Amino acid sequence: MKIFYDENIPYAKEFFHDFGELVPFAGRELSAEQVKDADVLLVRSITKVNEQLLHLNTKLTFVGTATIGFDHIDQSYLKQRNVVFTNAPGCNAISVAEYVLSALMVLVERLGFDLKTKTIGIVGAGNTGTRLSEKLDALGINYLLCDPLLEKSGDARTFSSLNEIVNCDIISLHVPITKECEHSTYHMFNQAVLTELSSQQILINACRGEVIDNQALLQLKQNNRGPHLVLDVWENEPKILTELIAFCELTTAHIAGYSLEGKARGTEMLYQALSKLANKPIEKQLEQFLPKAEFEYEKQHPNNELITVKQRVFDVYDVRRDDKIFREQLNIKSFDYLRKNYPVRREFSALELSAQHSWPQTLKNLGFKVKV
């Protein structure tokens, strides 16, 4: 069996070496000629998997993307060819939720507000929106959920309309990119919606760039209007609208989901799916491969819950590190280079705290490991 895998899929060798021959490739450079004798194709979001890529291949049985998003996959073409397809739902949801929380902690400090007096509008209440809402629950922060598809499907949570969400103090977007369907998300935040937002509000996009009309957003900001911005994703990646960067409070290179755990969970999910297809027992688990994390953290015991939480969040992940790299290096390195060479980042669960730590239950509910 010949398995082609994106070189940016962590632990691919560890998970797949005993399935057959492994062939790494650069995600944006894969050609039809190169992939013509692949039995299995494992990609990330930057490889478009369609007839153009696969027309020379007659052997393919399985395509997996180590991501939740699958807008880069022509699923009907794969179906027509009887190729089994899987994505990795939820693999990086914790990572994105922790990115958002870290960003909120930075903005609390920078803009000087109390998070407990704000309401966060979460658009898209799937894996990521749910993980984020759980972290907000842990902190007692108010939020509204907007997800007409889940609402219609009978999800028991309370949902709000997009009109209600646009009035929230903070809006965080967690939807797939969809076009030409009832609740399509392409330019969901178009000029008309963006114009309704005030300069006191915060808009966070860590889903897909095309959910916001980037050009309209730039025009608004150039006219000294529009919300505070946290942008991880961009229209037309990797050729992004760089003029927007200067108007962002925090800005990064589509790395919200790039915790080591988040990326590697995607690999593990593909391993599980391929094992099932190949009738092989599931013998490997991610924990075997993840290194133990070492953190330098100050063992302070402030009596303010949010200050303690903020310190522990930054001990594990301070989004300002990635914002700085992005602003300083995008002129020298490419968008893809910054993503490919992303420094290691761990999830809250990698920091083990003792039960004697201040606010142990809150930290546990947020996802930190608390030793009893």
Ligand X SMILES: O=C(O)C(=O)[C@H](O)COP(=O)(O)O
The H or E element spanning position 63 is strand 62-65
Residue indicated by tokens 């015991």 = 301
Q: Is 254 annotated as catalytic?
A: yes
* Shortest spacing between CB 208 and ligand NAI, in angstroms: 4
Binds 46, which of ligand NAI, ligand X, none (CB < 5 to 8 A, cut-off by type)?
Answer: ligand X
Task: Measure the N-to-C terminal CA separation of the chain; round to a whole number of Å.
Answer: 47
To the question of whether residue 257 is assigned a binding role by annotation, the answer is yes
- Which C-beta is closer to ligand NAI: that of 3 or that of 235? 235
To the question of whether residue 232 is assigned a binding role by annotation, the answer is yes
Residue 231: which of 210, 213, 215, 254 has the closest Cα? 254
Binds 175, which of ligand NAI, ligand X, none (CB < 5 to 8 A, cut-off by type)?
Answer: ligand NAI
The H or E element spanning position 139 is helix 127-139
Question: d(Cα 353, Cα 208) in Å, to the nearest integer?
Answer: 34
Binds 227, which of ligand X, ligand NAI, none (CB < 5 to 8 A, cut-off by type)?
Answer: none
Q: Is 29 annotated as catalytic?
A: no
To the question of whether residue 271 is assigned a binding role by annotation, the answer is no
Question: Distances in Å between the alpha carbon of 175 and those of 135, 149, 369?
Answer: 18, 11, 29
Residue 93: which of 120, 65, 129 has the closest Cα? 129
Binds 147, which of ligand X, ligand NAI, none (CB < 5 to 8 A, cut-off by type)?
Answer: ligand NAI
Which residues is 189 bridged to in the sheet? 212
- Which C-beta is closer to ligand X: that of 319 or that of 353? 319
Strands 119-123 and 228-231: unpaired
Binds 44, which of ligand NAI, ligand X, none (CB < 5 to 8 A, cut-off by type)?
Answer: ligand X
* Shortest spacing between CB 69 and ligand X, in angstroms: 3
| Contact present, 149 and 172 (Cβ < 8 Å) | no
| Contact present, 236 and 177 (Cβ < 8 Å) | no
- Tell me the CB-side half-sphere exposure of residue 280, using CA atoms within 13 A: 15
In the chain, the amino acid numbered 73 is I
Catalytic residue among 174, 208, 265, 312: 208
* Shortest spacing between CB 65 and ligand NAI, in angstroms: 11
* Footprint of ligand X (CB under 6 A): 8, 44-46, 67-69, 92, 257
* Footprint of ligand NAI (CB under 6 A): 68-69, 89-90, 92-93, 96, 123-129, 146-150, 174-176, 178, 183, 185, 206-208, 232-233, 254, 256-257
* Shortest spacing between CB 360 and ligand NAI, in angstroms: 28
To the question of whether residue 45 is assigned a binding role by annotation, the answer is yes
- Which residues are known binding-site members? 45, 67, 147, 232, 257-258
Residues with catalytic function: 208, 237, 254
- Which residues are known binding-site members for NAD(+)? 147, 232, 257
